[in-house]
Amino acid sequence: MQAKETLLADLVQGRAQQFQVPLYQRTYSWTEKHLKQLWSDILEQAELLETGGKASTHFLGSLVLAPSPQNEATFPRWLVVDGQQRLTTLALALAAIRDHIAGTQPEEAERIDEEYLINKRKSGHDHLRLLPTQADRPPFAAHIRGAVTDQAAGGGVAAAYGFFRRKLVEADDPAAPQDVFRLEQAITSRLTLVAVTAERGDNVHRIFESLNNTGLKLSQADLLRNYLFMRLPTRGEHIYETYWLPLQNSLSNDELEQLMWLQLVLDGDDRVRRQDLYTAQQQRFEHGEVGEPEIEAYIRELHRHGTLFRRLLHPEEEPDASVRAHLHRLDAWQAQVTYPALMLLLDRRERGELDSPATARAMSYIESFLVRRMICRVPTNNLNRIFQAMPGQLPLDVPVDQGLHQLLSADNRFWPDDDELREKARTAPFYQYGRWNQRRMVLERLEESHEHPEPVDFAAAQLTIEHVMPQSPGDEWLEMLREDAADSESTEDLHARLQHTLGNLTLTAVNSELSNHPFERKQGLLQGSHLEMNRRIAATERWGATEILARADELAERAIGLWPAPLRGVGRAERSRDWHLAHQVLAALPHGTWTSYGDLAAFLGSGAQAVGTHLANTPQVANAYRVLTSDGKVSDGFRWAPQDTGGDIRARLAADGIRFTISGAADPAQRLTSDDLALLIAGADEDQTDGEDTTQDTATAGQGEETRADRFIRQLTADDSPETVEAVRTLLARWEALGGWIGYGAGHVTTSAFLVLGEAGGPGHGIWPLTLYPGSGRGGTAEVVFQHLAAREPFTDRALRAELLRRLNELEGVDIPEGKLELRPSFRLSLLEKDHNRKLLTETLTWFRDRWESGRTS
């Protein structure tokens, strides 16, 4: 048996060979959580290559190989006893890079294919350099060979390939562009593996067990602490009691590790990673003459910084009111990414280099930078780099607050100016970007700008974000919109374009009478609100497109007054950045789905005609031909962009799994709306719903008050037939009989009911397959939360989610396409009036409960 460190390039490059995954191995099972971590590691290594950094390569894990029984002297074959998930993932990442550049650099795409993915002169299974286990072979081979069929479109292999295609489009972000060949080099030459190669007769399974029998690992903070006190032979006890023990008692181990990392960053090390903290600090101490006095000075400085760091974690400990207010807001924003800049400001203030007003002013620039970027939908993927580099880049010839203003205003920082803020307030779907707490904080600050003599206690008010013009408008709303729609835009497209914009959103704690009723019935309730923004809405005679845009203009001016602008004279790239978002979401379209020009325009905050023009003139936009008219037809003006392959567009659509109706239109069930598009690229930390609306609370109301359960049934009764209401009551009772519980949402305009398994106390504590919503004028719906399930065991296994989809599609009237398996599709609650459908759904929920329980015990 031999063990050695190797790289993917050394392992697979240069000769014909094959790595075979035995049939007894489990199928490919990496989820998006694993893929995101790997992608983060790849980006870090690519950045190190770009800067010439000397930091160590990233250790990816072990690989246990044994000679295959089919081994030949001229064509070596190896059994992959351990490590098949890593090898499969890296191969799919390289295939995605190959296909990403195939249209513009075909020779480089062919090179990647021949060096890493295929054995050029072999055929059949031998053509593949990696041969997965039998169940994974068809989809893996299809993605390596580049001809994806319906059979290969689903499953974990397809999901991983799609993830990397999407991330490669995202990596073209003009704010932080990545060289695709540097990403290739990071994958093949910066991710290290320990390859254990067994001889015939070795017990490879015993090797596997030994490698995976891991114990509790020491943290970076533990390692560094041990190192420091080993170097304090005479003063260790005094320093421990005076500085270290109080520091350790005031911070958790994770917080202490973060503080140690921040101290390195404040010292100008803008590339250090937290996982390299121990090595980086050790190297600093190993250079030059470092004795006990220097070690003591480091720990004393760490202790001083610990007091400052606690103010970021607990803003109430900050003595200055203005600085404290900024820290509270940044804490509510969950802006941990800004910690290097905030620590820099607090440190400079303590050193006497700036006073509290200047500190607050500098923090206002940081807050504005985050808020304006969120309102204008600037991607957040380069924020770590921006703030980590700040201590080393701060100008020395100007005051600290002015220097920070200059840094954030620099080219490629994309801090939106006033004109862009005004435009995005009118057009961008504010409700679909950022985290729910960030959206609510923006609206709270806008309300505070009215300087009401009796300020609202937002912490106690339990306000939620509500749409004034509802998301599911009734006939009265549609008639009002029809008056405002231009000749070239349908009423539905106008609604989709405006519903999520800032001008149509407000905060409210009023009860459910608001619902989706006509505007006239909302005015009285809004007039009685304590919030000035609601009284102003109530004072408006109607609420159509003109009024929504006018309110957006007013809120934009308030936002400009609240959040300072960047300095003038820096380069901007708004248009290219906006279209980059379009490219990113089109690259993420699942197999078997399409979208319309109006849907894509509403998602972007653009116009449908502009979308069509851009797609027609921009080559190499993935899936551009899957953008159709709202009725599912190829646009009369469609043409292939320059340099695109072209061909019969209907044949291309059919190959991508698009079904056609008898009239020749694309199947409307496979259409993705603007809301679906937003879900496609929502990060794990970007909750697309107002967080208060999904809070679970089964507590009973006080005497005479309406419970959430009562509110849900009342709203359902107001819109659906008695038969549907009774069917829903039966469903809820059956779910409780299965051992589940019902959580009712806190929304006042429209509530919801969650069918939950697991610990009570909120959605984050359990798992739920369905969310039920009253109809609000359109009939109640059951939302199937595939996106939620994809992050919760055991349904991280895509095959289980696909089985749930299959079972639900057995209900008469339910036809959810597989392309929506990562989204939140829905069906009408009225379908449950049929006994057969209720029986099938109960069986499906029983199956769901059994799978969840077996996953907990396995």
The model's pLDDT over 489-512, given as tens digits with 9 standing for 90+, comes to: 889 999 999 999 999 999 987 644
Residues 6 or more apart in contact with residue 381 via CB below 8 angstroms = 170, 173, 176
Confidence of residue 204 (pLDDT cuts 50, 70, 90): low
Evaluate whether 491 touches 485 at the Cβ level (below 8 Å). yes
In 10 A of CB 321, how many CB atoms?
9
**What average pLDDT is seen over the chain?**
86
CA distances from 263 to 270, 296, 387 (A): 11, 15, 14
What is the model's pLDDT at position 447?
95
Q: What's the whole-number mean pLDDT along residues 715-726?
A: 90
Structural tokens at position 256: 């202490």
In a domain, 665, yes or no: yes
pLDDT tops 80 at residue 197: yes
Q: What's the whole-number mean pLDDT along residues 51-57?
A: 71
Cα gap 773→749, rounded to integer Å: 11
383 in the same domain as 259: yes
- Domain of residue 634, residue span: 574-680
State how beta strands 18-20 and 464-467 pair: unpaired
In a domain, 409, yes or no: no
What is the model's pLDDT at position 512?
47
Structural tokens at position 409: 């205003």
pLDDT tops 90 at residue 92: yes
Residues 6 or more apart in contact with residue 538 via CB below 8 angstroms = 522, 523, 524, 525, 526, 527, 529
The rounded percent of the chain whose pLDDT value lies above 70 is 89
46 in the same domain as 187: yes
pLDDT tops 60 at residue 625: yes
In a domain, 8, yes or no: yes
Q: What's the whole-number mean pLDDT along residues 85-98?
A: 96
Strands of the sheet with 627-628, listed across from one edge: 627-628, 594-596, 671-672
In 10 A of CB 324, how many CB atoms?
17
pLDDT tops 70 at residue 366: yes
In a domain, 225, yes or no: no
Q: What angle do CA 377, 378, 383 make, to 5 degrees?
A: 135
Q: What's the whole-number mean pLDDT along residues 821-846?
A: 94
Alpha helices in 681-721 (DSSP H): 708-719
pLDDT tops 90 at residue 331: yes
Cα gap 479→491, rounded to integer Å: 8
Task: Tell me which of 646 and 385 has the higher pLDDT.
Answer: 385
pLDDT tops 50 at residue 698: no
Q: Which residue has the tokens 């989709």?
A: 496
pLDDT tops 50 at residue 165: yes
Tell me the three state secondary structure of residue 67: strand
Rounded to a whole number of angstroms, the CA Rg of the chain reads 29
**Dihedral sign from CA coordinates of 52, 55, 61, 62:** positive
What is the model's pLDDT at position 834?
95
Structural tokens at position 127: 């053509």
Q: What angle do CA 533, 539, 542 make, to 5 degrees?
A: 110
246 in the same domain as 164: no
238 in the same domain as 205: no
Confidence of residue 216 (pLDDT cuts 50, 70, 90): very low
Domain boundary among 180, 211, 242: 211
Amino acid found at 854:
S
CA distances from 144 to 90, 96, 114 (A): 12, 9, 11
365 in the same domain as 439: no
What is the model's pLDDT at position 56?
73
Domain boundary among 529, 562, 595: 562
What is the model's pLDDT at position 549?
96
Say how many domains are in the chain.
5
- Domain at 608, CATH number: 1.10.10.10
Task: Tell me which of 637 and 569 has the higher pLDDT.
Answer: 637
710 in the same domain as 589: no
pLDDT tops 80 at residue 852: yes
154 in the same domain as 6: yes
Task: Tell me which of 203 and 667 has the higher pLDDT.
Answer: 667
User: What are the tens digits of pLDDT across the range 246-305?
Assistant: 998 899 988 999 999 999 999 878 778 888 888 888 888 877 677 889 999 999 999 999
What is the model's pLDDT at position 488?
79
Cα gap 704→722, rounded to integer Å: 25
DSSP 660: B
390 in the same domain as 442: no
In a domain, 569, yes or no: no
State how beta strands 191-197 and 18-20 pair: unpaired
Q: What's the whole-number mean pLDDT along residues 87-112?
A: 94
DSSP 72: -
Cα gap 134→227, rounded to integer Å: 49
Q: What angle do CA 276, 301, 275 make, to 5 degrees?
A: 10
DSSP 59: E
Q: Which residue has the tokens 């114990």?
A: 215
CA distances from 155 to 98, 364, 585, 633, 801 (A): 21, 46, 20, 29, 10
192 in the same domain as 310: no
Instruction: Give the range among 240-244, 287-291, 470-474 with minimum mean pLDDT.
Output: 287-291
User: Minimal CA–CA distance to 223: which of 272, 266, 280?
Assistant: 280
Confidence of residue 687 (pLDDT cuts 50, 70, 90): very low
User: Minimal CA–CA distance to 281: which of 253, 262, 306?
Assistant: 262
State how beta strands 464-467 and 594-596 pair: unpaired
Task: Tell me which of 269 and 517 has the higher pLDDT.
Answer: 269
Cα gap 178→171, rounded to integer Å: 5
Confidence of residue 573 (pLDDT cuts 50, 70, 90): very low
Q: What's the whole-number mean pLDDT along residues 423-441?
A: 93
- DSSP code per residue over 186-248: HHHHSEEEEEEEPPTT--HHHHHHHHT---PPPPHHHHHHHHHHHT-TTTHHHHIIIIIHHHH
249 in the same domain as 152: no
In a domain, 538, yes or no: yes
User: What are the tens digits of pLDDT across the range 540-557?
Assistant: 999 999 999 999 999 999
What is the model's pLDDT at position 200?
65
In a domain, 10, yes or no: yes
pLDDT tops 50 at residue 441: yes
Cα gap 350→344, rounded to integer Å: 10
Q: What's the whole-number mean pLDDT along residues 431-435?
A: 90
In a domain, 528, yes or no: yes
- Quick one: which H or E segment has residue 536? helix 532-538
Evaluate whether 368 touches 564 at the Cβ level (below 8 Å). yes
Structural tokens at position 146: 């580049």
Tell me the three state secondary structure of residue 720: coil
Q: What's the whole-number mean pLDDT along residues 146-170?
A: 82
User: Minimal CA–CA distance to 822: which of 779, 790, 856, 855?
Assistant: 790
Residues 6 or more apart in contact with residue 767 via CB below 8 angstroms = 756, 757, 758, 788, 789, 792, 795, 852
Q: What's the whole-number mean pLDDT along residues 622-632?
A: 92
Q: What's the whole-number mean pLDDT along residues 616-636?
A: 90
355 in the same domain as 333: yes
Strand extents, DSSP E, 445-588: 464-467, 505-508
What is the model's pLDDT at position 856?
77
**Dihedral sign from CA coordinates of 447, 449, 454, 455:** positive
- DSSP code per residue over 143-189: HHHT---HHHHSHHHHHHHHHHHHHHHHTT-TTS---HHHHHHHHHH
Evaluate whether 562 touches 442 at the Cβ level (below 8 Å). no
Q: Which residue has the tokens 């359960």?
A: 709
Q: What's the whole-number mean pLDDT along residues 76-91?
A: 92
What is the model's pLDDT at position 47?
86
706 in the same domain as 675: no
Q: What angle do CA 543, 547, 548 make, to 5 degrees?
A: 90
Q: Which residue has the tokens 């939140």?
A: 824
pLDDT tops 70 at residue 577: no
Residues 6 or more apart in contact with residue 751 via CB below 8 angstroms = 512, 708, 711, 712, 715, 744, 745, 774
Confidence of residue 338 (pLDDT cuts 50, 70, 90): very high
Domain boundary among 680, 707, 723: 680
What is the model's pLDDT at position 705?
66
What is the model's pLDDT at position 509?
75
Alpha helices in 625-740 (DSSP H): 649-655, 674-680, 708-719, 722-737
Instruction: Give the range among 11-20, 60-69, 214-223 with minimum mean pLDDT.
Output: 214-223
Half-sphere exposure for 738 (CA within 13 Å, toward CB)? 27
